Amino acid sequence: MEKTKVIVGLGSCGIAAGGNKVFQQIKSLKEADNLDFILDKTSCIGMCFREPLVEVIDETGSYLYGEIDEKKAFEIINQHIVNQNPVKDYLVKSDLFPSEDEHFFAGQVKIALRDCGYINPERLEEYEARNGYQALKKITSEEVSKETVIQTILDSGLRGRGGGGFSTGMKWRFANKYKSDEKYVICNADEGDPGAFMDRSLLEGDPHAVIEGMIIAAYAIEATGGVIYCRAEYPLAIHRLNIALDQARKKGYLGKEIAGITGFNLDISVKEGAGAFVCGEETALMASVEGKRGMPTKRPPFPAEKGLWGKPTNINNVETYANVPWIINNGSAAYAAYGTEKSKGTKVFALTGKIKKGGLVEVPMGITIRDIIYKLGGGIANGKQFKAVQLGGPSGGCIPEHLIDTNIDYDSVNATGAIMGSGGMVVMDETTCMVDMARFFLDFTQKESCGKCTFCRIGTKRMLEILTRICDAKGEEGDIEKLEELAYQIKDSSLCGLGQTAPNPVLTTIRYFRNEYEAHIRDKKCPAKNCKPLLTYEVIPDKCTGCMVCARNCSVNAISGSRKEVHFIDQEKCIKCGICFTKCKFEAILVH
């Protein structure tokens, strides 16, 4: 009989939610009473909304407990481990009992995330036990030709998961075509989209899958060196990558004459990014690896011809590489069986914002946005109304409610004006102001513009100024048209993806929520009640108890009234900071 296992989810999210304390608590309970079970850790299980998670696997099956703190951990150890009586109240998923979260997993197909949450990412044996490095062994033991490997990836229909959506097989073929004594494979792990964490979870949860994908790419294009360019903001991912790389070197998956094949030499190193969104652009990324300012350069020449250090280079993103071993093991047809005609396989999404059950989901292409939000994510949080979903971060756009049945595939999403992007899916409800949202993204891209192209550098600045003005109740007639004109000029005249897509959030919000812009500009109102300068604060006489809390907190003494008398807000003096609304305990402040 196998020993009972207790596994704590320790990805960044789990740790932030208090996973380490739970782990320590279980560890001390185990040691104090000399309990006989295996305590281990894993990474992201995907159910971020139930973190911290603890899984117990005993002879009867698997029990996943959610929202566990030290006290609940104590109960689980006492009742489940000692008395063999599962604590049903805390169960979120189990083979034996139904749970309200089951639908979160129904409809998911885990290919890229196949091991996340199932293995301890710091142990190579656990990856190997789940078919790990089998794909590499398969192609090296049979010495499958490079062309066959490339053709398999091409046939699978895999497209770049970083957002571009370019065919991975084609990319490999180009890189294979250029001959050189030095060639590189690069993994783009500079996940800069605010609102996306798929790559972080993958690197933390299954680093070997990405590394194996890179080794297979290196085999196919005959690369001699590899680099993983990872955000410095992801310390845990970098830590686990370095552990995995060491293990792979010791096991001979990396090094000289890999699998005994003459000339197949490869080592991979981790480069820490220094914080620049533009480095997600492949030419800027390579400049950064070379130690320069991360500014994009003109293509052609494409990296496949002249990339890192001027040598042929293949760049793919984390999720793309993680798919590769699965495709080699299961065949291109198995992968292409999922998805639509032009978008094959699965896509990982980070589901966040005003949603009930936010987390990491992997779904087959072709699923509708509605199914992701309502079936998997359980709908909108706090009983609010769905308004829009943001796809593709600062390069993407907002998809409104009437397009919620749009299929998730590259072409359908592009048709809405948004982009698939790397997988950030931020759900917004009626309280989210779309003009403010556009301003938020422009503020981001304006700061992150590298400054090389005039239109991007100055144009985003001018757009931001207009948007800020609109949110500050100083919008003017003609602002919308000015925004549109600037947007098309920036799109047409920028060298790289950052500038070419920066206006998308503005264009899509104007397209679908023009009435909100008009309300801001003409009526000086914010329908979502978000932009403070556009709001009016008034006391509701019937509800005011005259407690004086609002008057005491008002920094400009705009509120008058004595104790136990109805208060009054002087609109001339009011700076609309909203403190009276937050401080009032009797809901006596009306905002409109």
Partner 1 sequence: MRVQRIAGSVPVADLTIPVVDLDLLLPVIAKYKGKKGNLIPLLQGTQNLYGFIPADAFEIISTHTGLKVTDMYGVATFYAQFRLSPVGKNIIKVCHGTACHVQSATAITEAVEEALGVKDGETTPDGIFTLESVACLGCCSLAPVMMIGEETYGKLTGKSAVQVIKEIKIRESVSR
Which residues bind to partner 1, rule: CB under 8 A? 12-13, 15-17, 48-49, 51, 191-197, 200, 231-235, 271-272, 274-278, 288-294, 309, 350-354, 358-360, 390, 393, 424, 426, 428, 432, 437, 440-441, 444, 446-451, 457, 461
Distance CA 520, CA 514 (A): 10
Per DSSP, 373 falls in state: I
Nearest distance from C-beta of residue 269 to partner 1, angstroms: 10
Helix (H), strand (E) at residue 229: strand 225-230
**Cβ 549 vs Cβ 517: under 8 Å:** no
Q: Which residue, 182 or 411, is less far from partner 1 as judged by CB?
A: 182
**Cβ 372 vs Cβ 351: under 8 Å:** yes
What is the number of other CB atoms lying within 10 angstroms of the CB of residue 365? 23
Among 360, 359, 326, 370, smallest CA distance to 344 is for 326
Total count of residues recorded for the chain: 592
Nearest distance from C-beta of residue 447 to partner 1, angstroms: 7
Tokens of 129: 């036990």
Q: Are strands 91-94 and 61-65 parallel, antiparallel or unpaired?
A: antiparallel
**Cβ 280 vs Cβ 190: under 8 Å:** yes
Q: Which residue, 429 or 479, is less far from partner 1 as judged by CB?
A: 429
Nearest distance from C-beta of residue 274 to partner 1, angstroms: 4
Nearest distance from C-beta of residue 387 to partner 1, angstroms: 10
Distance CA 569, CA 566 (A): 10
Q: Which residue, 406 or 446, is less far from partner 1 as judged by CB?
A: 446
Nearest distance from C-beta of residue 144 to partner 1, angstroms: 32
Q: Which residue, 232 or 540, is less far from partner 1 as judged by CB?
A: 232
Q: Which amino acid is at 579?
A: I
Among 437, 45, 38, smallest CA distance to 202 is for 45
Q: Which residue, 173 or 387, is less far from partner 1 as judged by CB?
A: 387
Among 373, 370, 379, 350, smallest CA distance to 362 is for 350
**Cβ 207 vs Cβ 246: under 8 Å:** no
Q: Which residue, 157 or 273, is less far from partner 1 as judged by CB?
A: 273
List own/partner pairs for 541-545 with CB under 8 A and 24 or more apart: 541/566, 543/586, 543/587, 543/588, 544/586, 544/588, 545/586, 545/588
Q: Which residue, 439 or 525, is less far from partner 1 as judged by CB?
A: 439
Nearest distance from C-beta of residue 282 to partner 1, angstroms: 16
Nearest distance from C-beta of residue 28 to partner 1, angstroms: 20
Among 75, 23, 109, smallest CA distance to 344 is for 109
Q: Which residue, 76 or 425, is less far from partner 1 as judged by CB?
A: 425
Phi and psi angles of residue 236, each rounded to the nearest 5 degrees, phi first: -70, -40
Among 427, 481, 486, smallest CA distance to 454 is for 486
Nearest distance from C-beta of residue 355 to partner 1, angstroms: 9
Distance CA 551, CA 84 (A): 58
Tokens of 511: 């397209």
Pick left, alpha or beta for residue 367 (phi over 0 → left; psi -120 to 50 → alpha; otherwise beta). Answer: beta
For residue 394, whether the previous peptide bond is cis, meaning omega lies within 30 degrees of 0, is: no
**Cβ 348 vs Cβ 203: under 8 Å:** no
Nearest distance from C-beta of residue 458 to partner 1, angstroms: 9
Q: Which residue, 275 or 478, is less far from partner 1 as judged by CB?
A: 275
Distance CA 378, CA 357 (A): 6
Distance CA 407, CA 388 (A): 15
What is the number of other CB atoms lying within 10 angstroms of the CB of residue 284? 25
Distance CA 370, CA 318 (A): 26
Q: Which residue, 540 or 556, is less far from partner 1 as judged by CB?
A: 556
Nearest distance from C-beta of residue 465 to partner 1, angstroms: 14
Nearest distance from C-beta of residue 146 to partner 1, angstroms: 27
Nearest distance from C-beta of residue 469 to partner 1, angstroms: 18
Q: Which residue, 269 or 489, is less far from partner 1 as judged by CB?
A: 269
Q: Which residue, 231 or 567, is less far from partner 1 as judged by CB?
A: 231
Nearest distance from C-beta of residue 50 to partner 1, angstroms: 10
Q: Are strands 5-9 and 54-58 parallel, antiparallel or unpaired?
A: antiparallel
Distance CA 44, CA 93 (A): 15
Q: Which residue, 288 or 317, is less far from partner 1 as judged by CB?
A: 288
